[in-house]
């Protein structure tokens, strides 16, 4: 391994000089600079960042804790983080909690993971990361899950914190649901069924609010018969879809709070020979890969996952640069993706 000292020796200068030319600090004569550069090239010198980090007390490394990298939202978010990090010369130390393999989607058992998360954080702190980005599998409050026994900034994304000193990056799902509902209303739909996620979910409430606002603004009454409580899974979409389709007064459109449940609805329609979109419109939320493969292709809402990653990393960089006026909470816009599962109401 060739060190800075080796370069200095071979170039006949001091280590300080070499350091100066590496970092472009200090005033180095162009003669000397060239000589040093040549030797560096000749010996294929690669600076030792761990030595440097020890000295300067910064690693330019961000710890990224992802609750489960195999969940659909994670790769895109990480990709966004990478794209911004790359531009600013940061590296990513990745910790994958793998919580899905550990506890499935029983988020109430998350306390089992507290130790896991704590040791993940401690490990990152020991590795001297400059900050931590925490990526959830589901938007919910994780404040008490992530220990704050250190002074590194934490950015939460696809989850949130109530801590005043940390930051969260999420998406405007209330607005998105509002726009989706409005879109259907403008297409003449008046009987809008809603299949929600689990009742204790933050997302469920957000999206319900968006749905409701669109109804209210259009003087439509919320019909409780049209509101079904699902659990985010395909099966529940199927089951509740069947129920909705067997109502005397059938809805003309069904809004499922995610693509999985929308898929279930589509299956229910197929089974009951209800044509989508001619007889009924159905929409989802998330724009997961499956939405493109459903028959018909699903109209849905695309999450700004990559942007969430970028924004998280941007916040981090801003914080590390002591930029002022960094907002604690960012909400990024979703995008309405129009495909073939929606048609104008011809009732």
* 149 binds, options DNA, a second copy, none, Cβ within 5 to 8 A by partner type: a second copy
The vertex-202 CA angle with 197 and 204, nearest 5°, equals 30
* 123 binds, options DNA, a second copy, none, Cβ within 5 to 8 A by partner type: a second copy
Identified binder of DNA from the candidate list 4, 154, 244, 280, rule CB under 7 A: 4
Residues that bind a second copy (CB under 8 A): 44, 46-51, 53-54, 59, 61, 64, 69-70, 74-76, 78-79, 82-83, 91-96, 98, 101, 122-123, 125-128, 149-150, 263, 288-290, 292-295
- Distance between CA atoms of residues 215 and 222, nearest Å: 7
Evaluate whether 310 touches 332 at the Cβ level (below 8 Å): no
The dihedrals phi and psi of 332, each to the nearest 5 degrees, come to -95, 150
Pairing of strands 281-283, 253-256: parallel
Q: How far apart are CB 22 and a second copy at their closest, in Å?
A: 11
Nearer to a second copy, 138 or 189 (CB): 138
Pairing of strands 300-302, 335-337: antiparallel
Mark residues 5-44: x for contact with DNA by CB under 7 A, - for none: x------xxxxxxxxx-xx-xxxxx-xxx-----------
Evaluate whether 32 touches 20 at the Cβ level (below 8 Å): no
Residue 224 touches DNA, criterion: CB under 7 A: no
The DSSP-derived string for 17-47 is HHHHHHHT-S---HHHHHHHHHHHHHTT---
Nearer to a second copy, 98 or 205 (CB): 98
**Positions in the binding site for DNA (CB under 7 A):** 1, 3-5, 12-20, 22-23, 25-29, 31-33, 45, 47-48, 51-52, 54-57
């Amino acid at each position: 391994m060739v060190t800075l000292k080796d370069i200095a020796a071979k170039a006949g200068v001091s280590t300080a000089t070499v350091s100066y030319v590496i970092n472009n600090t200090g005033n180095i004569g162009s003669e000397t600079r060239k000589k040093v550069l040549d030797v560096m090239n000749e010996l294929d010198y690669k600076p030792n960042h761990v030595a440097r980090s020890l000295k300067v007390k910064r690693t330019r490394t961000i710890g990224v804790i992802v609750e489960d990298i195999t969940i659909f939202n994670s790769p895109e978010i990480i990709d966004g983080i990478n794209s911004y990090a790359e531009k600013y010369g940061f590296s990513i130390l990745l910790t994958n909690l793998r919580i899905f393999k550990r506890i499935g989607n029983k988020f109430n058992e998350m306390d089992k993971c507290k130790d896991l998360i704590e040791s993940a954080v401690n490990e990152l702190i020991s590795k001297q990361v400059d900050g931590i980005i925490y990526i959830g599998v589901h938007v919910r409050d994780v404040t008490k899950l992530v220990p704050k026994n250190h002074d590194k900034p934490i950015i939460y994304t696809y989850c949130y914190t109530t801590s005043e000193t940390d930051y969260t990056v999420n998406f405007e799902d209330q607005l998105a649901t509002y726009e989706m509902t409005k879109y259907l209303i403008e297409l003449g739909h008046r009987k809008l069924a809603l299949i929600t996620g689990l009742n204790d979910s933050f997302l469920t409430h957000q999206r319900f609010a968006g749905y409701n606002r669109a109804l209210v603004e259009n003087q439509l009454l919320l019909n409780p018969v049209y509101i079904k409580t699902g659990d985010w899974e395909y099966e529940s979409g199927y089951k509740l879809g069947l129920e909705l389709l067997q109502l005397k007064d059938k809805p003309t459109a069904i809004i499922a709070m995610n693509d999985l449940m929308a898929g279930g609805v589509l299956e229910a329609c197929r089974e009951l020979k209800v044509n989508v979109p001619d007889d009924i419109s159905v929409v989802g939320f998330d724009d997961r890969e499956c939405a493109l493969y459903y028959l018909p292709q699903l109209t849905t809402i695309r999450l700004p996952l990559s942007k969430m990653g970028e924004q998280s990393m941007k916040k981090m960089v801003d914080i590390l640069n002591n930029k002022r006026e960094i907002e604690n909470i960012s909400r990024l816009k979703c995008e309405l993706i129009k495909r073939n599962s929606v048609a104008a109401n011809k009732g």
